[in-house]
Amino acid sequence: MDSLFSPALALHVACGLAAVAAGLVPILARKGSRLHRLAGRIFVGLMGTLLAAAWVMTALHFNAYFAALSATASLTLFSGVRVLRRKRPNLDRRQRATALDWAATLAVMAIGVWVLVLLLTGASNSPPAPTIGLVYAALLYGGWDLWRYARPGDWPFSPDLWTYEHLAKMLSAYGAVLSAFSGNFLTVLPTPWSQLWPTLLFQPLAIGWIAVLVVRKRRCWSLA
């Protein structure tokens, strides 16, 4: 097992370091531009490889915190990309959730519940604050997605909802890799803040960013 764990760890760390740098580009680039799309694809590729290695390591040496982190990052990355193909599910049934979407979301939520049970029963010695925060995020995003899958045209659907979902989920995926990076390398920060600050930064940022986009959209409607 160690012969498989070591190369998986090396790949995980290398992709993580690259993803921390690459993830900044689509955040800062003009949305919808060629640079944004190209950098986004690179980030998704790095994150996908990173997460595959993370699941291998989790299977070999289980840790509740890293299981919750991998689950949350997997869901936000997967759903953040998939929503680009579901821009108008109210008009096109082919854009609605598939069995793959349902299975991935339910699997991540099940992992989140399992990790929470481990924490509450004392079966895990993982740091409770960041681990519970990650479980909360997994259940929150998963619950949202299940509602959207079941009722794709109902509240709060709008033609621009996919934009807000993509923004929030990709920022969350970036926050997850930054959290792992910070927890391992920014040791000058005390635990659990070295792991929590990316979440405390990017979640309000996503909410504020979406609020700005909504206000701008309404102003455009009022001027039309």
Give pLDDT tens digits for 162-184: 999 999 999 999 998 998 888 77
pLDDT at res. 56 = 94
Q: Which residues of the chain have pLDDT under 50?
A: none
Q: Does any domain span residue 186?
A: yes
Give the pLDDT of residue 224.
56
Q: Looking at the domain assignment, is residue 104 inside a domain?
A: yes
In a domain, 71, yes or no: yes
**pLDDT value, residue 222:** 63
Per the domain annotation, does 98 fall within a domain?
Answer: yes
What pLDDT score does 190 carry? 76
Residue 105 · residue 142 · CB < 8 Å: yes
User: Any idea what DSSP says for residue 187?
Assistant: T
pLDDT at site 134: 87
In whole angstroms, give the CA distance from residue 135 to residue 67: 10
Residue 133: inside a domain = yes
The confidence score (pLDDT) of residue 43 equals: 97
Question: In this structure, is residue 157 part of a structural domain?
Answer: yes
Task: List the domain range (segments joined by +) for residue 84.
Answer: 62-223
Are 67 and 134 in contact, with CB atoms under 8 Å apart? no
Given this model, what pLDDT does residue 1 score?
60
pTM of the model as a whole:
0.90
Distances in whole angstroms, Cα of residue 143 to Cα of each of 109, 176, 212: 8, 19, 25
176 is a domain residue: yes
Which alpha helices (DSSP H) does the chain contain, by range? Answer: 2-22, 24-28, 34-60, 64-82, 99-120, 128-150, 161-185, 193-223
Number of independent structural domains in the chain: 1
Residue 84, pLDDT score: 94
Q: Is residue 45 part of a domain?
A: no
Encoded tokens for 198:
């990316």
**Distance from chain centroid for Cα 205:** 14
pLDDT of 112 reads 94
